[in-house]
Structure 1
């Protein structure tokens, strides 16, 4: 079974305003609302690809109820922890001549709430997959990803981590099955600017030396690179298409990679699936569908 954890889910309210001006009333040309959060995105895309997962995390208030309702409508299994104080956040994404984001804070997560999450972790079995993705609310210990992985040591659970800076660096000695930084996040870890695939390979190899088993690096329009625990390196240019919305593309790549790997345990096929799933989301206003992914797999020429 696959489980995803989103510590700070959101309702993403996306509005288009032709020419936004401060200090006056602005009218939207288009508006949409989605359940948001990196782990939630992974669960939605996995569901689109025909793989069931269960979304874990913390919800609160009327916004939490709406997130849960929308995921139910998507057909995503959920088992969230209900938090008493506060509300799940609303993130406003304003698209105009410039893009602006206003992200909410989220609810007050207590130690007793975190204990409930650990009780869920106790149910994981050998061969299960756990996806830890996204940022951590300020009210939670910033070591939580590392703490969870230490807690699960010896359980033979495949853990994928999609996080930045210390959240990612701290888990490397615990040998996560998969990490997926983008090239900018990879550069931040080493204090360098990374723009070429050769640079990506060089620094991704350093993350393997620190303990990561497989390193998948997204490079937006420049494609992606995968270094596997088998000592192989795969790279690809990005499929051709018009980018409509980059939000969720990286999460979709994680979902596609896992879906591809779990099908036949083949890293080359997993990489192809990850690249095409991430691109399919970028080329759509919403998250990738199975049909969109299959079309890119058919049309994109990989160099291997």
Structure 2
């Protein structure tokens, strides 16, 4: 089974306003509500590819109820922990001449709530896949990724981590199956600027030396580079299309990579499918559909 963890899921209220102007009444020309959170995005894309997953995390209030209802419509199951105080976030994403975001705080998560999550995760078995992605709410200890991976260490669970700098660096000692920094994050980890494929492969290799099994580096319009566990280096160009939506593209790449690897055990294919999934989401208003993904696969 595949499990995803979203510590702070949200309803993303995405509005388009022509020429937004501060200090005036602005009217939307387009509105959408999406069920947000990096783990939820991964589960949604996996569902579009026909893979079952269970979404874990914390929800609260009427917005939490809506998130639970909505993910069922997206085609995957959830086992969220209902928190007593506060409500799940509503994030406002404004699309106009420039894109702006206002993100909500989320509920108050207690130590007892976190213990319930650990109890659920303790039931994972050999062969399961766990995706840990995104930032940590301020009310949760920043070392929670490490504590989860320490608990599961040595149990044959493939853990995927998609997080920034210290969150990522601190878990390498537990040998995550896959990490996915982008090229800028990769440079920040080592205090350098990476400009060439050779730079990226070299510093990705350093992350492997520190414990990562596979390192997937996304490079926006320049595609992606994978340094696989056997030292092989794979490069994949970007899918071609008109970008409509940047939200969830990286999560979709992660989901596609997982699905491709589970299907074939072939890293080159996994990278190709991950790229197609990321592109399908970027070229859509929401998470990429299987039809769009398969069309892009033919072009890569």
Does 1:64 find its partner at 2:67?
no
2:140 equivalent in structure 1: 140
2:81 equivalent in structure 1: 81
2:230 equivalent in structure 1: 230
Does 1:30 find its partner at 2:45?
no
CA contact (8 A) 2:86 2:107 kept: yes
Instruction: Please report the RMSD computed on the Cα atoms of aligned residues, expressed in angstroms.
Output: 0.8
Q: CA deviation at 1:195?
A: 3.3
1:275 equivalent in structure 2: 275
- Give the Cα–Cα distance (whole angstroms) in 2 for the partners of residues 125 and 107 of structure 1: 30
- Give the Cα–Cα distance (whole angstroms) in 2 for the partners of residues 259 and 175 of structure 1: 20
1:292 equivalent in structure 2: 292
1:249 equivalent in structure 2: 249
Q: Number of residue pairs matched?
A: 300
Q: What do residues 52-72 of structure 1 show as CA deviations (whole Å, max 9, x unaligned)?
A: 000000000011111111111
Q: What do residues 204-225 of structure 1 show as CA deviations (whole Å, max 9, x unaligned)?
A: 1111011000001111111000
- Give the Cα–Cα distance (whole angstroms) in 1 for the partners of residues 195 and 147 of structure 2: 33
1:149 equivalent in structure 2: 149
TM-score after normalising by structure 1: 0.97
Q: CA deviation at 1:118?
A: 0.7
Q: CA deviation at 1:193?
A: 2.3
1:130 equivalent in structure 2: 130
SS at 2:261 equivalent: helix
Q: CA deviation at 1:196?
A: 2.7
- Give the Cα–Cα distance (whole angstroms) in 2 for the partners of residues 73 and 246 of structure 1: 22
SS at 2:243 equivalent: coil
Does 1:193 find its partner at 2:193?
yes
- Give the Cα–Cα distance (whole angstroms) in 1 for the partners of residues 282 and 174 of structure 2: 32
- Give the Cα–Cα distance (whole angstroms) in 1 for the partners of residues 188 and 86 of structure 2: 33
Q: CA deviation at 1:154?
A: 2.0
- Give the Cα–Cα distance (whole angstroms) in 2 for the partners of residues 171 and 218 of structure 1: 20
Q: What do residues 63-98 of structure 1 show as CA deviations (whole Å, max 9, x unaligned)?
A: 111111111111211000000000011111111111
2:163 equivalent in structure 1: 163
Q: CA deviation at 1:194?
A: 2.5
Q: What do residues 115-139 of structure 1 show as CA deviations (whole Å, max 9, x unaligned)?
A: 0001101110100000001110000
Which 4+ stretches in 1 moved above 4 angstroms?
none
- Give the Cα–Cα distance (whole angstroms) in 2 for the partners of residues 280 and 104 of structure 1: 27
SS at 2:130 equivalent: strand
Q: CA deviation at 1:227?
A: 0.4
- Give the Cα–Cα distance (whole angstroms) in 2 for the partners of residues 256 and 94 of structure 1: 28
- Give the Cα–Cα distance (whole angstroms) in 1 for the partners of residues 68 and 121 of structure 2: 20
2:7 equivalent in structure 1: 7
Gaps of 5+ in 1: none
TM-score after normalising by structure 2: 0.98
1:178 equivalent in structure 2: 178
2:16 equivalent in structure 1: 16
Q: After superposing the two structures, state which structure 1 stretch, 190-199 or 167-176, moved more.
A: 190-199
SS at 1:259 equivalent: helix
